[in-house]
Amino acid sequence: MKAIDTNVLLRLIVRDDPIQIEHAKTVVAQPFMLLPTVILEAVWVLQTRYGLEPLRIVDELAKVMSLDTASTMSKLAIQWALQRFSLGGDFADMLHIGLAAQTDATHFTTFDRRIERYVADADIVIETLG
């Protein structure tokens, strides 16, 4: 199985290079792995470089993640983070919390008070300092 880089994922979503799109399609026609770090970077690039809205980003990522050939590391944490991102949460923060909840951590500690409004159902205690 191949783990794909962010640039391969981006070609599938933004379709801005015909040759690279065909290569990307060939890769994902076989079993492939989506890493949380690749998805994190893709969200950032899709927002900042391509100006896509969160709902469109979530929809596009869901399409790729639902491919029969796709495996997604920490899929539940990613889906949890994407859902909160679609509601206005910061994707990176939500992913940090979702991933932390899958570990031995009991708390996610932050100074960021804005996080609290998106994580009422988190499987980890959110501790806000200061």
Task: Look at residue 107 in the predicted model and tell me its pLDDT.
Answer: 96
Task: Look at residue 120 in the predicted model and tell me its pLDDT.
Answer: 87
Task: Look at residue 5 in the predicted model and tell me its pLDDT.
Answer: 98
Q: Check whether residue 6 and residue 69 sit in a common domain.
A: yes
Task: Look at residue 6 in the predicted model and tell me its pLDDT.
Answer: 98
Query: What whole-number distance in Å separates Cα of residue 27 and Cα of residue 21?
Result: 10
Question: In terms of residue numbers, what domain contains 115?
Answer: 89-130
- Give pLDDT tens digits for 39-60: 999 999 999 999 999 999 999 9
Q: Check whether residue 65 and residue 97 sit in a common domain.
A: no
Q: Check whether residue 61 and residue 112 sit in a common domain.
A: no
Tell me, yes or no, whether 79 lies in a domain. Answer: no
- Give pLDDT tens digits for 94-124: 999 999 999 999 999 999 999 988 998 899 9
Tell me, yes or no, whether 83 lies in a domain. Answer: no
pTM listed for this prediction: 0.91
| Domain tally, the chain | 2
